[in-house]
A and B are shown apart, each in its own frame.
Chain A
Amino acid sequence: MKHSLSARTKVAVYGLLCVLSVPFVFPTWWMVTSSLKPASQIFAFPPVLFPRDADLTTYSKVFSLQPFATQYFNSAYIAAVVTLGTMAVSSFAGYAFARIRFPGQNLLFMVVLLGLLIPAEVTIVPLFQFFLKFGLINTHWPLILIPVFGAPSVFATFVMRQFFISLPAELEEAARIDGLGRIGIFWMIALPLARPALAAVAIFTFLHSWNLYLEPIVFLSSPEKFTLPQALTQFVDAYGGPMWNIQLAAATLTAFPVLLVFVIAQRHFIEGLAHTGLKG
């Protein structure tokens, strides 16, 4: 609907956009500013939208009450390993399903797609038993192995397959005439071209791992093993009530780096996800 708009309509659209952006922006603003307020002020009335003097002691408490730096590291390295692992697994599988012919291909692809149908919650009990048998409860292995090889990576494989299908066949034929074998074609021709799809896979895989909540609370039990989402909910007082300002400070620390990367690279984020992420 690319008509040029009249001035009145323009004002109306801008007004609507501003009103609609409140519930998207205000929570983040409120999180950051409230984390800087002393505990006595966070429920003040009328609400303090711009705190005057920042109180940073809350932030030091985040690190003294829990091994927060370790938890931060846990989340970061798990997300990094899961992202790289998923990119590898899904580009191999996606390429093979898209461009190589082998017997049983369609059936095997259906089996793999089963992963899209099955929420993690359905299989959490047997997976818990499985890792219990191998003595891997309260380790990070389940949080790495399940996403990289299990159901969560299927979506990535699907995206990669859709991308590789769209590559023109002449490209591979030309490479074959130049003497490249199958692996050479994959590695030197197809994979470099797949960068946009890989970027989309990397973004949603990272976010998925970074947000994971059910699996950590099922598999992990000691604070120094916790990941961030789980750690955030552990800042509670003796009665189990949340210590709001500390939770908000920890939440700010958790959200900030990803938000920063997003603001810098928002175009790649959004367009990558929109165009390669889900087409087809």
Chain B
Amino acid sequence: MLVRTKVATISPAETEGVGKKRLWTMAHQDALIGYLFILPQLAGITIFVVVPLVLVFWYSLHEWNVLAGNFDYTGLDNYRQLFADPVLPEILRVTGIFSIGLVAFNMSLALLLAILLNQKLHGIILFRTLFFSPVVVSLVAWTIVWGFLLQKDGGINGLLAVIGVEGPNWLRNETSAMVSVIIVQVFKNVGLNMVLFLAALQNVPGELYEAALMDGASRWQQFLRITLPLISPTVLLTAIITIVGSLQVFAQIAVLTQGGPGTSTTVLVYYLYQQAFQFHLFGYGSTLSILLFVIVAILTFAQWQLRKKWVFYEA
């Protein structure tokens, strides 16, 4: 407004200068507000993510036993220990099985549920609510109930016994313990992926199916050629979130199996917690943290690369 009133009284050349200066300061003021707005987040990330990440690396170069009270620079010794750790291959195998099993089961169940919920049926909202409800149940409460259900004489074996099947002692047997922790986690959170898939399915234009129907495509062909390609961005996004999430599963394992029996459910995060906070080996714990970070980073990067090849359609 000010600029405009000045236009009448001063020469065009001057106006231009004033206008520019005003714009310049306005842009500056705007940028300043921008910096102020991001300041809390940026400061938080610096203090709680960037600096700790650097420190983890620094700690990983030390032998640091909290109980013994030492903190000695040992260079790459912890990394040598990491590669020589006789337990670590087993831990990585367990982590891999857990993550792959979890992601495969979670994604396929989520897709199945979403397809069922996408049918025009009465009362479908009720089922959506039921499938989603474990998401809002407190994680540890959910885990405790399942721990109770999975006892040798617990509810699941009780129900199996009614139909004449003798169930295993779920949490005390290596294979069934792994199956148990995967199942408990999948039923807890599959509702999230389910609603994301459902939203994606509902965004697929109906005309495409009509056209396919006219061309004589079967249901299965329609699913493979239309549905799957069109929802692939959502599939990718949820796959990333689910895989990275699977590497962070801690509470369920701490409550259900404490990593056992033996090391059969000791995933990397749980091993890291044991080394750092139960055996007080902060140096080696930090080395394991770096390993976890590298794995997550590689997975995320690989998936973003895959995205270029695999995703047919961008929402």
Binding site for B on A (CB under 8 A): 1-5, 10, 13-14, 16-17, 20-21, 23-28, 30-31, 34, 42-43, 45-47, 88-90, 92-93, 95-97, 100-103, 105, 108, 111-112, 114-115, 117-127, 129-130, 145-146, 148-151, 153-154, 157, 182-183, 186, 207, 210-211, 213-214, 217-218, 228-230, 232-233, 242, 244, 247-248, 250-252, 254-255, 258-259, 261-263, 266-267, 269-271, 273-275, 278-280
The A interface, classified by DSSP as helix, strand, loop or mixed, is: helix
A249 vs chain B, min Cβ distance (A)? 11
CA distance A10 to B122 in the complex (A): 10
Instruction: Please determine whether A47 and B41 come into contact, CB atoms closer than 8 angstroms.
Output: no
Of B27, B195, B198, B251, the residue contacting A229 (CB under 8 A) is B251
Chain A residues within an 8 Å CB radius of B93: none
CA distance A42 to B116 in the complex (A): 35
Of B48, B52, B195, the residue contacting A273 (CB under 8 A) is B195
Contact of B51 with A by CB under 8 A: yes
Chain A residues within an 8 Å CB radius of B187: 23-24, 27
Select from chain A the residue with minimum beta-carbon distance to B35: A102
Chain B residues within an 8 Å CB radius of A100: 30-31, 33-34, 37
Instruction: Please determine whether A102 and B162 come into contact, CB atoms closer than 8 angstroms.
Output: no
Question: Contact flags (1/0) for B111-128 with A, using CB distance below 8 Å?
Answer: 011011011110001011
B175 vs chain A, min Cβ distance (A)? 19
* CB within 8 Å for A123 and B53 given contacts A27-B146, A102-B35: yes
CA distance A248 to B29 in the complex (A): 57
Cβ-closest 8 pairs across A and B: A149-B44, A150-B48, A96-B37, A251-B141, A213-B251, A100-B34, A102-B31, A229-B140
* CB within 8 Å for A149 and B40 given contacts A46-B158, A121-B289, A247-B144: yes
B12-20, B291-299, B305-313: which lies at the A interface?
A: B291-299
Instruction: Please determine whether A150 and B44 come into contact, CB atoms closer than 8 angstroms.
Output: yes
Contact of B185 with A by CB under 8 A: no
Contact of B285 with A by CB under 8 A: yes
Of B59, B128, B147, the residue contacting A125 (CB under 8 A) is B59
Chain A residues within an 8 Å CB radius of B273: 121, 124, 214
B62 vs chain A, min Cβ distance (A)? 11
A218 vs chain B, min Cβ distance (A)? 6
Instruction: Please determine whether A10 and B121 come into contact, CB atoms closer than 8 angstroms.
Output: yes
Query: Can you name 16 extra interface pairs (CB under 8 A) apart from A21-B131, A117-B297, A251-B140?
Result: A20-B113, A42-B148, A100-B31, A101-B27, A101-B31, A103-B31, A111-B46, A112-B38, A126-B51, A126-B56, A149-B43, A149-B45, A154-B41, A211-B138, A213-B250, A269-B132
Chain A residues within an 8 Å CB radius of B141: 31, 229, 232, 250-252, 254-255
B2-10, B78-86, B95-103, B149-157: which lies at the A interface?
A: B149-157
Chain A residues within an 8 Å CB radius of B183: 23
Instruction: Please determine whether A153 and B277 come into contact, CB atoms closer than 8 angstroms.
Output: no
Instruction: Please determine whether A30 and B149 come into contact, CB atoms closer than 8 angstroms.
Output: yes
Instruction: Please determine whether A17 and B154 come into contact, CB atoms closer than 8 angstroms.
Output: no
CA distance A110 to B129 in the complex (A): 36
Instruction: Please determine whether A122 and B48 come into contact, CB atoms closer than 8 angstroms.
Output: no
CA distance A2 to B204 in the complex (A): 10
- The count of residues in chain B whose C-beta lies closer than 8 Å to any C-beta of chain A is 106
Of A28, A96, A278, the residue contacting B133 (CB under 8 A) is A28
The B interface, classified by DSSP as helix, strand, loop or mixed, is: helix
A254 vs chain B, min Cβ distance (A)? 5
CA distance A229 to B251 in the complex (A): 9
Contact of B135 with A by CB under 8 A: yes
Contact of B266 with A by CB under 8 A: no
CA distance A210 to B29 in the complex (A): 39
Instruction: Please determine whether A101 and B45 come into contact, CB atoms closer than 8 angstroms.
Output: no
Of A108, A146, A248, the residue contacting B42 (CB under 8 A) is A108
A140 vs chain B, min Cβ distance (A)? 16
* CB within 8 Å for A89 and B40 given contacts A1-B115, A151-B45: yes
Chain A residues within an 8 Å CB radius of B94: none
CA distance A102 to B297 in the complex (A): 28
CA distance A207 to B188 in the complex (A): 13
CA distance A23 to B187 in the complex (A): 7
A208 vs chain B, min Cβ distance (A)? 10
Instruction: Please determine whether A233 and B255 come into contact, CB atoms closer than 8 angstroms.
Output: yes
* CB within 8 Å for A24 and B133 given contacts A102-B34, A125-B289: yes
- A-B contact list, 8 entries, CB within 8 Å: A43-B151, A90-B41, A93-B41, A97-B38, A108-B42, A119-B247, A119-B269, A262-B133
Instruction: Please determine whether A149 and B47 come into contact, CB atoms closer than 8 angstroms.
Output: yes
CA distance A278 to B196 in the complex (A): 8
Instruction: Please determine whether B269 and A121 come into contact, CB atoms closer than 8 angstroms.
Output: yes
CA distance A254 to B139 in the complex (A): 10
Instruction: Please determine whether A43 and B154 come into contact, CB atoms closer than 8 angstroms.
Output: yes
Select from chain B the residue with minimum beta-carbon distance to A97: B38
Query: For residues 181 through 231 of chain B, which have their beta carbon under 8 Å from a beta carbon of chain A?
Result: 183, 187, 191-192, 195-196, 198-199, 201, 206, 209, 219, 222-223, 227
* CB within 8 Å for A117 and B296 given contacts A1-B222, A125-B285, A146-B48: yes
CA distance A46 to B154 in the complex (A): 10
Chain A residues within an 8 Å CB radius of B153: 43, 45
Instruction: Please determine whether A114 and B255 come into contact, CB atoms closer than 8 angstroms.
Output: no
CA distance A31 to B45 in the complex (A): 39
Of B198, B219, B293, B315, the residue contacting A274 (CB under 8 A) is B198
Instruction: Please determine whether B50 and A111 come into contact, CB atoms closer than 8 angstroms.
Output: yes
